[in-house]
Amino acid sequence: MPEAGSHHPRVPVIVRIARWRVPLGFLFGVAAVMLSRPSPRSLALGALVGVCGEAVRIWAAGHLEKGREVTRSGPYRWTRHPLYAGSSIMGVGLAIASRSLIVALLVIAYLAVTTAAAIRTEEAHLIEKFGSEYGAYREGTAAPVVRHFSLARAIRNREYRAALGFALVFTILALRSRGVL
C-alpha cells in the first residue's frame, strides 16, 4: 500500500537490506579495518582463508549465466548460493586477519543479515522467473548440467571487483599491521 503522498509502494525491509548490502559492506569494511589489530600471522592465516573464499566465488562466476537460466554446473551442483558461500568464507578470512573479536562479530552480523536478505529476495525472483525449473533445482531433483568453467564468463560476471576489493582490504590490513595506517 503506498504511503500518503508517495507514488512508490512500500518496499519491504528485507528487500532494502538486500539492495543495500554492497554499500553496507563498504561501511562495515571501513569499521572492520579501523577496529582491526592484524599481525603478520593473522594476516597470513586470514589471507589463506580469504583466497579460498574468492576461489569459490571465481569458480561460481565462471559457471553462472545470470538471469538466463537456472545454473546447475560447477559449484551450483552442490549449493544454490556458491557466491554467498565464497563471500562468507572471505568474511571469515577478514575476521581472522583482523585479530579482533569485535570485527568477527561485525562480520558475522553483516553476513547473517545481508546474505539472508539477498538469498530470500533472489530466490523469490528466481521462482517468479523460472518457476518449476528453479523449484526442481531447489528441491535437488533437477539434473546437473555439464558446463566447463570459463574465465571470460567470470569476468563478464564482474568477479574481478570482489578480487580487487579483497586485495585492497588485505593491503590496508598489511599496512596497519606495520603501523603505517
Q: Express each pLDDT in 62-105 by its tens digit.
A: 999 998 999 999 999 999 999 999 999 999 999 999 999 999 99
Number of Cβ within a 10 Å radius of residue 56: 22
Residue 137 has pLDDT above 80, yes or no: yes
pLDDT digits (tens, 9 = 90+) for 27-61: 999 999 999 999 999 999 999 999 999 999 999 99
Dist. CA 11–CA 27, nearest whole Å: 22
Q: What percent of the chain has pLDDT over 90?
A: 81
What burial letters (b/e) apply to 71-88, b meaning 16+ CB within 10 Å? bbbbbbeeebbbbbbbbb
Domains and their CATH numbers in the chain: 13-177 (1.20.120)
pLDDT at residue 144 in the model? 83
Q: What percent of the chain has pLDDT over 70?
A: 94
pTM: 0.89
Compute the C-alpha angle 8/134/58, nearest 5°.
Answer: 90
Q: Which residue has the higher pLDDT, 141 or 11?
A: 141
Please give the torsion angle defined by the CA atoms of residues 71, 77, 81 and 86, in that order, rounded to the nearest 10 degrees: -120
Determine contact, residues 62/149, Cβ cutoff 8 Å. yes
